[in-house]
C-alpha cells in the first residue's frame, strides 16, 4: 500500500529520458517515490492508496534546488539598491554582519526559506560567511528544522582581507573556526532524516589565509562533506586573490589542493578558458547567480562555455541583499533571458536547460543526484505542484516547461513536498503555526539589526535617486 497517489496531472520527471507524462500519476510511500507513470495504469495498481490526490490537470515538477544563498541578508532586503559593490559592502552588509545574533539569523532564515518554499524551493544551500560570534549557525539550522526544508548549512569564515575593507569584527582565527565547525558537524550533519547537512563555506579566497583554507579542506574531507566558495565573481575578486595567494581563480584552488567533485564554486563570472578546462578536469561544480550578478553589475557568467565543456552548473538566488527576493521562478527566467541577450542567440539556453539547472543539475552540484533532482522510483519525494489556473499569466499551457520558466509567478506554486510531506499545501505553510506572526517578527528583527548596525539607508534616511548624467 502506498501513502499517496497523485493522479490526472502532467508529471515532468527530468529523468534520464526527460520523460513527461501528460496524463500522469505518481505514487509515494514514506519519503520516497514508488512509481511514476500513466494515470490509467497507476490508478488501477494503487486503488488502496491511503491518500488519493486528483491533480485535475495541474503539473508536478521535481523540487527546485537553490545552490547558493546568504539567508541572514534577507533582513537587509532593499538596503543596497543601486550601489557599486564597495559601497554595498561598506554601508550595509559589513555593518550589519558584525551585530548579528542567533535570533537575527533565525528570522532571516525563516523569512528567506518561506519565500523560497513559495517559489517551489525544496533544497536550500545557505552560505553563512560572516561569524561575529558563535551560535549564528544554530539560528539558521533551527529554521531549517522547523520548516522541514532540505537544508545545507555552509559555515563560513574569514581571517584576511582587512586591507580590502573586511570588517575586523567579523574575522576569526583558524583554531576558533575549526572548534566551532567540528561542533556544528557533530551536532547537525546528516540529521533530520538526512535533510540537514553541514558544509564548509569560506567567504572568498582573497579573505582567507592558506592556513585557514587548508584546515577547512581537511575538515570537509574528514566528514565527507562539501566545500563552497566564491570564485572569480569580479575583476576585484581575481586581483585580491592574486595579491594574497600569488594566483587567481582555479589556479588558486589547484595550488591549495582544493579540488574534486565536492567543490562548488559560486558566481564564476570571470572564469577564463583555462579555468573552465580545469573545472571540467577536476569535476568542480558551479553555482550560477544571474539575478545578483545583474543587480551588482558584476557581469555575465560564461554559462554556455561551461555547459559546452561539460561542467555542472546549478542555480542560486544569492542573498536577498543582492537580489531583493528569493524567487526560483524569477531566477529561472532570468537565467535564460540573460544569456540570450548576451550572446544574441535565442537558442543558447532553453527553458528545458534552465529547469535542469534548477533540478537535476542542482542536485549534481551538491552531490545529491542519486537522491533528489528528478521524479524517479526510489528517489526522495521532493516535488512541486504547479497550478496554472492560479494566475492568468500561465494560461494557456502548451508546453509545461515553457509555462513554468517564461509564463508563471510564485502564485502558481500551489503545494510543495519534501520527503513526501507537504510543507506547503494548497497555498498554506503547514510547518508554520502563524505565518503572519513570523513575517511581523522578521520585520521587527530587521529594524533592530539596522539600528544596531547604524544603517540609515531606510525610510526617511533614504535619498531619492534619479538617473545621473
The C-alpha atoms of residue 204 and residue 191 are separated, in whole angstroms, by 28
What is the per-residue pLDDT for 455? 92
Instruction: Tell me which residues of the chain have a pLDDT lower than 70.
Output: 468-469
Domain layout of the chain by residue ranges: 4-62+374-429, 64-365
Superfamily name and number for 64-365: Metal-dependent hydrolases (3.20.20.140)
The span from the CA of 318 to the CA of 129, in Å, is: 12
pLDDT recorded at residue 423 = 98
Q: How far is CA 430 from the centre of its chain?
A: 21
pLDDT digits 0-9 by tens, 282-316: 999 999 999 999 999 999 999 999 999 999 999 99
Three-state DSSP class for residue 53: strand
Give the model's pLDDT for residue 165: 86
Pairs from 291-294 (Cβ < 8 Å, separation ≥ 24) = 291/317, 291/318, 291/323, 291/325, 291/330, 291/331, 291/334, 292/316, 292/317, 292/318, 292/319, 292/322, 292/323, 293/233, 293/267, 293/269, 294/334, 294/338
Helix 273-282 vs helix 249-256: crossing angle, to nearest 10: 40
pLDDT for 468 equals: 62
Question: Angle of helix 328-343 relative to helix 351-358, nearest 10 degrees?
Answer: 130
- Interacting residues of 208 by C-beta distance below 8 A, sequence separation 6+: 157, 158, 159, 160, 161, 202, 216
Residue-wise pLDDT for 201-216, tens only, equals 999 999 999 999 999 9
d(C-alpha 90, C-alpha 165), whole Å: 7
* 119 in Cβ contact with 416 (< 8 Å): no
What pLDDT, on a 0 to 100 scale, did the predictor assign at position 91? 81
This prediction has a pTM of 0.97
pLDDT at 466: 86
Q: What is the pLDDT of residue 469?
A: 59
Where do runs of H (alpha helix) occur along 246-350?
Answer: 249-256, 273-282, 290-295, 303-308, 328-343
Tell me the CATH number of domain 4-62+374-429, given options 1.20.1440.230, 2.30.40.10, 2.60.40.10, 3.90.1300.10: 2.30.40.10
Report the C-alpha gap between 212 and 275 in whole angstroms.
23
Amino acid at each position: 500500500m502506498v501513502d499517496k497517489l497523485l493522479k490526472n496531472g502532467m508529471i515532468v520527471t527530468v529523468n534520464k529520458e526527460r520523460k513527461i507524462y501528460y496524463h500522469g500519476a505518481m505514487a509515494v510511500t514514506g519519503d520516497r517515490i514508488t512509481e511514476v507513470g500513466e494515470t490509467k495504469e497507476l490508478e488501477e495498481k494503487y486503488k488502496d492508496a491511503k491518500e488519493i490526490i486528483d491533480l485535475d490537470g495541474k503539473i508536478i515538477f521535481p523540487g527546485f534546488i537553490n545552490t547558493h544563498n546568504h539567508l541572514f541578508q534577507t533582513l537587509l532586503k532593499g538596503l543596497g539598491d543601486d550601489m557599486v559593490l564597495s559601497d554595498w559592502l561598506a554601508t550595509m552588509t559589513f555593518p550589519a554582519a558584525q551585530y548579528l545574533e542567533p535570533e537575527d539569523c533565525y528570522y532571516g532564515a525563516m523569512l528567506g526559506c518561506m519565500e523560497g518554499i513559495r517559489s517551489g524551493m525544496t533544497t536550500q544551500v545557505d552560505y553563512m560567511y560572516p561569524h561575529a560570534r558563535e551560535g549564528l549557525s544554530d539560528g539558521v539550522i533551527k529554521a531549517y528544522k522547523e520548516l522541514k526544508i532540505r537544508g545545507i548549512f555552509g559555515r563560513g569564515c574569514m581571517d584576511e582581507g582587512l586591507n580590502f575593507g573586511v570588517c575586523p569584527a567579523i574575522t576569526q582565527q583558524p583554531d576558533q573556526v575549526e572548534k566551532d565547525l567540528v561542533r556544528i558537524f557533530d551536532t547537525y550533519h546528516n540529521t533530520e532524516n538526512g535533510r540537514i547537512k553541514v558544509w564548509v563555506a569560506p567567504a572568498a579566497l582573497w579573505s582567507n589565509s592558506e592556513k585557514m583554507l587548508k584546515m577547512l579542506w581537511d575538515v570537509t574531507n574528514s566528514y565527507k562533506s562539501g566545500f563552497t566558495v566564491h570564485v572569480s565573481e569580479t575583476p576585484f575578486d581575481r586581483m585580491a586573490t592574486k595579491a594574497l595567494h600569488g594566483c587567481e581563480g582555479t589556479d588558486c584552488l589547484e595550488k591549495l589542493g582544493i579540488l574534486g567533485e565536492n567543490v562548488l564554486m559560486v558566481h564564476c563570472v570571470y572564469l577564463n578558458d583555462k579555468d573552465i578546462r580545469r573545472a571540467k578536469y577536476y569535476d568542480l561544480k558551479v553555482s550560477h547567480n544571474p539575478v545578483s550578478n545583474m543587480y551588482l553589475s558584476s557581469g555575465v557568467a560564461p554559462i554556455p562555455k561551461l555547459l559546452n565543456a561539460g561542467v555542472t552548473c546549478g542555480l542560486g538566488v544569492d542573498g536577498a541583499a543582492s537580489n531583493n527576493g528569493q524567487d526560483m521562478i524569477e531566477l529561472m527566467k532570468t537565467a535564460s533571458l540573460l544569456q540570450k541577450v548576451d550572446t544574441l542567440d535565442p537558442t543558447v539556453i532553453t527553458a528545458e536547460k534552465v529547469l535542469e539547472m534548477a533540478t537535476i543539475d542542482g542536485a549534481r552540484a551538491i552531490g545529491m543526484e542519486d537522491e533528489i533532482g528528478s521524479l524517479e522510483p526510489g528517489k526522495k519525494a521532493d516535488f512541486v505542484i504547479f497550478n496554472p489556473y492560479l494566475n492568468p499569466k500561465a494560461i494557456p499551457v502548451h508546453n509545461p516547461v515553457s509555462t513554468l520558466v517564461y509564463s508563471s509567478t510564485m502564485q502558481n506554486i500551489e503545494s510543495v513536498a519534501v520527503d513526501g510531506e507537504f510543507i506547503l499545501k494548497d497555498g498554506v505553510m503547514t510547518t508554520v503555526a502563524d505565518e503572519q506572526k513570523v513575517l511581523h517578527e522578521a520585520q521587527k528583527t530587521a529594524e533592530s539589526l539596522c539600528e544596531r548596525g547604524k544603517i540609515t539607508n531606510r525610510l526617511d534616511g533614504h535619498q531619492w535617486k534619479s538617473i545621473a548624467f
